[in-house]
């Protein structure tokens, strides 16, 4: 594993980790992380995929994990579009480094939604998303609806106004993030059009241009990405892509739970990770 930085379009250094296989199969896989989740969370799966011959890359959005090179307060105006521009520059760098490779993406939660916030789709031949969803909160369970509304309608504006960043760990939501990212997150969850609202207001998204094959995975006990919200993502947002849907029930795999995060944990390597092998034809 090699660690280095890639310059985003405005010069901000983005932390990247590269995993190099001993016997390459001419396939590249890039992890697009979930909101406020540092790249190190994906290292075990990255190692696994490298052992199958893939060149694998992880990265952190600016202000998160190893890409926190300035104070969050100084980065307060950088949000979703800055993050997805970081993703684009990383994707471009990787494609230029291995131009002959087929390039795939694994997107976790927001990572799977981020594809359309820039034209980074041009660098990918196939996608797999896990727990990525159409974020409008009213598609969630009643309890989650209450918690989301309370947090993002009230706590986000209050905490970002006072602290000049969003203290995600206070609410069990990963690393702290910038004020703008938190406000964008609130819009994504509270507006009925979710990520498509950004298209209407800024004309900066590219969801309609995404046409490659996509496997969208939902999980029965994932409170952050209910099946209905993942269905809407495929039907309404990625409507021009070649979408395949897969819904996982823990009981079908003799598991007690999977939730929003356990798909990526090494304990499920032999149980759930073969789904990735099959989709990207790594066997």
What is residue 201's predicted lDDT score, i.e. its pLDDT? 61
- Alpha-carbon distance of 11 to 13, in angstroms, equals 6
What is residue 72's predicted lDDT score, i.e. its pLDDT? 87
What is residue 129's predicted lDDT score, i.e. its pLDDT? 98
Q: What is the pLDDT of residues 208-226, one digit of tens each?
A: 999 999 999 999 999 999 9
Residues linked to residue 17 through DSSP beta bridges, in sequence order: 3, 58
What is residue 33's predicted lDDT score, i.e. its pLDDT? 96
* Helix pair angle (142-150, 179-190), 10° resolution: 140
- Alpha-carbon distance of 80 to 60, in angstroms, equals 13
If one looks up domain 2-135+204-280 in CATH, what number appears?
A: 3.40.50.1820
pTM, two decimals, is 0.94
What is residue 76's predicted lDDT score, i.e. its pLDDT? 87
- Range 14-48 burial, b when 16+ CB lie within 10 A, else e: bbbbbbeeeeeeebbbbbbbbbbbbbebbbebbeb
Low-confidence ranges of the chain (pLDDT < 70): 200-203
What is residue 245's predicted lDDT score, i.e. its pLDDT? 98
Q: What is the pLDDT of residues 59-85, one digit of tens each?
A: 999 999 999 988 888 888 898 888 989
Give Cβ neighbours of residue 55 (< 8 Å, ≥ 6 apart): 18, 19, 20, 21, 24, 27, 28, 29, 94, 98, 101
């Amino acid at each position: 594993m090699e660690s280095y930085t890639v310059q985003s379009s405005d010069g901000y250094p983005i932390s990247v980790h590269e995993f190099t296989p001993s016997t390459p199969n001419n396939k590249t896989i890039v992890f697009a992380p979930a909101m406020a989740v540092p790249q190190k969370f994906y290292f075990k799966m990255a190692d696994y995929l490298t052992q199958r011959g893939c060149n694998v890359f992880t990265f952190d959005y600016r202000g998160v994990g190893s890409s926190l090179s300035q104070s969050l307060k100084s980065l307060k105006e950088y949000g979703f579009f800055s993050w997805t521009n970081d993703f684009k520059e990383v994707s471009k760098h990787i494609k230029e480094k291995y131009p002959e490779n087929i390039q795939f993406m694994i997107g976790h939660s927001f990572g799977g939604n981020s594809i359309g916030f820039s034209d980074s789709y041009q660098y990918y031949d196939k996608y797999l998303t896990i727990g990525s969803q159409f974020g409008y909160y009213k598609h969630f369970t009643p309890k989650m609806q209450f918690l989301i509304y309370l947090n993002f309608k009230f706590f986000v504006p209050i905490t970002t106004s006072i602290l000049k960043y969003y203290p995600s760990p206070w609410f069990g939501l990963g690393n702290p993030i910038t004020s703008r990212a938190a406000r964008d997150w609130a819009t994504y969850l509270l507006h009925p059009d979710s990520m498509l609202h950004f298209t209407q207001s800024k004309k900066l998204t590219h969801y309609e241009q995404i046409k490659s094959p996509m496997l969208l995975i939902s999980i029965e006990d994932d409170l952050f990405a209910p099946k209905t919200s993942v269905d809407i993502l495929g039907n309404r947002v990625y409507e021009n892509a070649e979408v395949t849907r897969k819904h996982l029930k823990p009981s079908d795999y003799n598991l007690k739970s999977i939730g929003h995060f356990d798909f990526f944990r090494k304990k499920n390597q032999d149980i759930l990770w073969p789904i990735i092998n099959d989709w990207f034809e790594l066997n």
